[in-house]
Amino acid sequence: MDYTALAVKANNLIDKFGAGVVLTQASFASYSTLTHAYDDATTATYSCKGVSRERMESLFSGSLGEGSNADFLLQASLGVAPVPNDSMTFGSVNYYVERARAVAPGGITVLYKVWVKA
């Protein structure tokens, strides 16, 4: 099966029906044994489009009322895999990534499924 064609189709559909997303990833400061100092932490931002779906938390999950939750499908053209604790902006709402996974049949990343919390 041609998963590259599927990735292009998914990208085009999210481009047509989605809205802008900005993902911010931070790198942690590292310690240099040569200079005996910490290097500065940096951040990098990545843009793509995504589609969102609000999700209801179970009454028994313990997280009811602790912020808005949503699922996102992000374009594979994002250029980086989202990871927990990344920050993500969709519209005027800032979210934090709880978990994420690449949908990658045959090793071809078609899209990213991301679970977030405001």
pLDDT digits (tens, 9 = 90+) for 55-108: 554 444 555 445 558 899 999 998 899 999 999 999 899 999 999 999 999 999
Q: Which two tokens stand for residue 32?
A: 């240099």
Residue 7 lies in a domain: yes
Size (the chain), residues:
118
Residue 67 lies in a domain: yes
Residue 31 lies in a domain: no
In 3D space, the residue among 55, 78, 53, 80 whose CA is nearest the CA of residue 67 turns out to be: 55
CATH number of the structural domain spanning residue 62: 2.40.10
Residue 84 lies in a domain: yes
Residue 21 lies in a domain: yes
This prediction's pTM: 0.78
Residue 39 phi/psi, 5° resolution? -80, 150
Residue 18 lies in a domain: yes
Which residues 6+ apart lie within 8 Å of 98 measured at CB? 84, 115, 116, 117
Q: Are 54 and 69 in contact (CB under 8 A)?
A: yes
